[in-house]
């Protein structure tokens, strides 16, 4: 019998996350604490596509280096996880068959950067799912429909950032451990409380009720994957543990596990 998998929302970091010893150690320990999944379904902030789509299921599809201006070594990173064609079929069935396939779409950095730390052996099949919308309620519904995949051993991961305003990012010469801007800290504290309380209504209505919401997320694509995770976790009661916290270049790296 396959163990039911939890659901994760993680703040994924840019490619330089690999140089942050604390964060990489936290992600590594998190991965080791999990029962090894049969597959991983990643919902990354860096892929918006409607109708909803899944990534390539062909072995050897290259990673998508969807970032600019970084040192060359970040473009030589590899993560050769097996494709997940069976999971693609399961996702299509769960979502009623209305799923496109992008045969050229490899994993983007919202997927492979954290997975390289959590599952460094790259031995778990991975499939990426697009965000068909940024509407919180609609994404919760997507998560609800995907929830049964947990029972067959699929780890569903929303990959974004708890706060994401790149005006706060001072570049590679800045101090990654500097105190965060007040709006980032205020939104992070609200998010920690709302998720801990399982307050789905408040989380869906975050742009109206959360402090500094529009500063923390000038555009909401990095917060949106949380809603897929919330929908997938809802049936088990939104029992959340904050596994990673703190700030990186002013951005909240808070990440949760829903059991």
pLDDT at 172 over 70: no
Angle of CA points 240, 259, 162, to nearest 5°: 40
**Does the residue 107 lie in any domain?**
yes
pTM higher than the cut 0.75:
yes
- Work out how many domains the chain is built from and give that number: 1
**Does the residue 201 lie in any domain?**
yes
What is the DSSP code string of 137-169? HHHHHHHHHHGGGGGGTEEEEEEE-SS--TTS-
Share of the chain above pLDDT 90, in %: 86
**Does the residue 160 lie in any domain?**
yes
DSSP 3-state assignment of 206?
helix
Q: How much is the average pLDDT of 187-215?
A: 98
pLDDT at 251 over 90: yes
Angle of CA points 93, 201, 132, to nearest 5°: 35
* pLDDT range class, residue 170, cuts 50, 70, 90: low
Report the mean per-residue pLDDT for the chain: 94
Q: Any idea of the CA torsion for 100, 102, 103, 104, to the nearest 10 degrees?
A: 180
Q: Report the CATH number that the domain containing residue 218 is assigned in CATH.
A: 3.40.830.10
Please give the residue range of the domain that contains residue 11. Answer: 7-258
- What's the sign of the alpha-carbon dihedral 37, 12, 60, 120? negative
| pLDDT score, position 71 | 86
**Does the residue 2 lie in any domain?**
no
**Does the residue 100 lie in any domain?**
yes
**Does the residue 1 lie in any domain?**
no
| pLDDT score, position 98 | 77
Angle of CA points 40, 230, 149, to nearest 5°: 40
| pLDDT score, position 173 | 61
| pLDDT score, position 168 | 83
Q: Which residue has the higher pLDDT, 14 or 207?
A: 207
pLDDT digits (tens, 9 = 90+) for 13-61: 888 888 899 999 999 999 999 999 999 999 999 999 999 999 999 999 9
């Amino acid at each position: 019998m396959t163990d039911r998998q939890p659901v994760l929302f993680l703040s994924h970091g840019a490619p330089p996350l690999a140089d942050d010893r604390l964060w990489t150690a936290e992600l590594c320990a998190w991965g080791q604490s999990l029962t090894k999944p049969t597959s991983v379904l990643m919902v990354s902030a860096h892929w918006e596509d409607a109708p909803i789509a899944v990534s390539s299921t062909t072995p050897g599809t290259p990673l998508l280096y969807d970032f600019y201006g970084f040192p060359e070594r970040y473009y030589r990173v590899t993560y050769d996880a097996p494709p997940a064609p069976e999971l693609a079929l399961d996702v299509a069935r769960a979502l009623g068959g209305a799923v496109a396939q992008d045969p050229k779409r490899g994993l983007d950095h919202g997927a492979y950067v954290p997975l390289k730390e959590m599952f460094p052996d790259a031995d778990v099949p991975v499939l990426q799912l697009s965000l068909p919308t940024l509407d919180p309620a609609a994404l919760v519904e997507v998560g609800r429909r995907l929830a049964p995949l947990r029972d067959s051993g699929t780890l569903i991961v929303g990959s974004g950032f708890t706060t994401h305003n790149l005006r706060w990012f001072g570049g590679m010469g800045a101090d990654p451990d500097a105190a965060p801007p007040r709006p980032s800290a205020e939104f992070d504290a609200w998010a920690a409380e709302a998720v801990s309380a399982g307050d789905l209504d408040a989380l869906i209505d975050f742009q109206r009720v959360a402090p500094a919401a529009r500063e923390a997320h000038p555009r909401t694509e990095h917060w949106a994957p949380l809603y897929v995770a919330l929908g997938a976790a809802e049936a088990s009661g939104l029992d959340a543990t904050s596994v990673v916290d703190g700030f990186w270049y002013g951005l909240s790296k808070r990440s949760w596990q829903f059991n």
